[in-house]
Chains A and B, each alone.
Chain A
Amino acid sequence: MPPWPLKDTHRWVRRELSAYLDGRLEAAAARRMEAHLVGCARCREELESLRDTVAALAALPQTPAPRSFRLTPKDVERSKATPVWVGWLPALRLASAAATVLLLMVLGADALLYPPALPAPAAMGLAAQAPKEGITREAAQQVPPAVEGTPAPTLRDAAPGAGPAPAPVASQPGTPAVAPDRATDGGAGAPALRRIAMFLVALALMLLGATAGLTLARRVRGY
């Protein structure tokens, strides 16, 4: 072992005293420690004070348990009924509630705006089958103004806020029952777009809820 500067030896000893007290130094390190302690009163003092500290800790009284912590079947029941993922439930509930509200809004708007128009199942099928292409095609078709005297409905107008565009459509009782993409030709692009957009959002939320629900159900069964 190369001789160390005394300062470094002190530092090493201070750091290793605790392990030395526990008998956790390798034989060679312990020999070096002892060789230093013989000649160094400060480090010896350090060792003694550390030993006293450990002794004081060991003398701390063990406090008796204030009560029995035995588990009752109820404790176990509760612990099984509330595993970690239960924390997600509020979020899932919220999502499904939001989906329901949106669905109701969409159906309600559908009934208001298109009394004789598409039956809901057909619209659903359409929304599910032709998602994005439908929207972009309609948006493109909206660019030329379709209704005379009315400002051209822009994509922004098609957003959920009630713009001026839906009014003429709603006041036309005789709108033929056609598929939405053909209905846009007649200037009904904005409501149809909005309807489909809301449908897509609702559908996405419902799918999310269903997926989460299935995952949850699988976990419950596997638990």
Chain B
Amino acid sequence: MTGGVVLYAFCHGLSSSLIGAPLTGMEQDEILVQASRQGDLDGFNLLVDRYQGQVYNLALRVLHDHAAAEDATQETFVAAFRGLASYRGGSFRAWLMRIAVNRCHDELRRQRRRPAQSLDRPLGPEDQPPEVADPVAGPEDLALQRERGRALAGLLLDLPPDQRVAVVLSDVQGFSYEEIAAATGAGLGTVKSRLSRGRARLRDLLAGQGELFALPERPKAEGGAAGGGER
């Protein structure tokens, strides 16, 4: 208990006055992992606090189902705590996300075996979480943004799972190619091509959504670039 309190203070500012320089996120992770390995659950829960949003959002975008995403998140942290011994340094976030990605693939496989329980249904309005309002955006913009988000999240489901995971990690979560490679166990070349194909497919799907995204239809003829891309 006390260990956790000390760690908490350590990772939230005290460090700068003690050591002189604030710890980077990765250094903090490292300390918390060391503590967790000694069985310090409070230390591990600080890691949970730090990453539960990312794990949950990855699962939500890949699985497109709140309940399944919640289960996957819980399982990810339990598995992570149990498997801390196998963490060999490097990006803890990528290591954790690899567990989460595997959980998502497990869940997708399970869904494929039981297609009756397919989660293809679109998230309804009641599924939409309260979003932080953009202070600049008017109510119309906000509604449009929300509608776009819903449509886009649904379109992601049309990507093959590997491409979906890569696209979500890269473009929703902001992972680097290296982190995606670590989180998926794929090589850099594979990451690059999954991203390329996933984004291109998503672009085509968005173009098919008409006005919602105002993306140009894929040009068919050389002169057919009738002013869509400019904004």
Contacts and interface: CB of A to CB of B under 8 A. Distances in A.
Interface of A: 14-19, 22, 24, 41-42, 44-46, 48-50, 52-54, 56-73, 75-76, 78-80, 83
A16 B229 CA distance: 19
| Consensus secondary structure, chain A interface | helix
A53 B215 contact: yes
A127 to B, nearest CB: 44
Contacts of A45: 216, 219, 225, 228-229
A63 B60 contact: yes
Contacts of A83: 82
A62 B78 contact: no
A57 B57 CA distance: 13
* Dominant secondary structure of chain B at its interface with chain A: helix
Contact of B192 (A24, A66, A72, A76): A24
Contacts of B186: none
Chain B interface bracket (under 10, 10 to 19, 20 to 34, 35 or more): 35 or more
B207 A49 contact: yes
B30 interface: no
B111 interface: no
B37 interface: no
B216 A49 contact: yes
A218 to B, nearest CB: 18
Interface in B178-201: 192-193, 195-196, 199-200
B49 interface: yes
Contact of B213 (A52, A58, A61, A67): A52
B195 A69 contact: no
A76 B41 contact: yes
Contacts of A63: 56-57, 60, 129
A81 to B, nearest CB: 11
Interface stretch (B6-14, B15-23, B69-77, B86-94): B69-77
A69 B215 contact: no
Contact of B195 (A18, A42, A67): A18
Given A45-B229, A49-B207, A62-B53, A15 B41 contact: no
Contacts of A24: 177, 192
B105 interface: no
Most chain A CB within 10 A, of B66, B200, B206, is at: B200
Contact of A17 (B78, B145, B196): B196
Contacts of A67: 70
Given A58-B174, A79-B79, 16 more contacts: A22-B177, A46-B219, A49-B207, A52-B231, A56-B148, A56-B213, A57-B171, A58-B172, A59-B149, A64-B130, A66-B70, A71-B78, A71-B81, A72-B41, A73-B41, A78-B78
